[in-house]
Structure 1
Amino acid sequence: MGPYRFQIASDVSTRDGIAVELVDASGERLLEVFRDDGHDGALTFNSFGTVSVSFDAAAKLVELARQKLVDAAPPGLSSSAPFGDTEKKDKK
């Protein structure tokens, strides 16, 4: 995948959740997909500064995030919603 690697990181200090991060060879975070466990498992895609990464690296990040954050989400989080769909639907 070139000069990139992926890591799983949890955050409970300023936000409550877990992320899959794309980092460069020096360990600098470039992109993340974050699952906010404090808000029903809402997913966000974030970049850190102005970055340029290959499409393949970004696609792999999203694929890993689906596996680690959506498919393996704890019960009670919105893991059954389509990936990226954080809106709550009205039940009729």
Structure 2
Amino acid sequence: MNKVYAGQTSLSLRVFTSCSLTDTEACEIRYRKPDGTEGAFAATVLDSLEGLISYDVAEGDIDLPGWWAFWAWIQFAGGRQAPGEAQRVFIHREGE
């Protein structure tokens, strides 16, 4: 399946951070919805050396069709923070 649909729950968001995550205190996949609302999903580190994080989408998470932006946000030990580059993804309305 090449499309993502509003309301879809059979989906994992995965983000490569391009940095080692061995000393992280928090990982998030942040988002901006088509209506401008911003938020974050608490992510799990899948591979600390490759810098891969993931979030399994739950009901109500991806609730609007249109252009979304997603980016990684990492907090390292000592309070250092690193936001990633946003990637835009079009979320389709079911049946389109």
TM-score category by the smaller chain? under 0.3
The structure in which a higher percent of residues are helix is 1
TM-score by length of 2: 0.27
TM-score by length of 1: 0.27
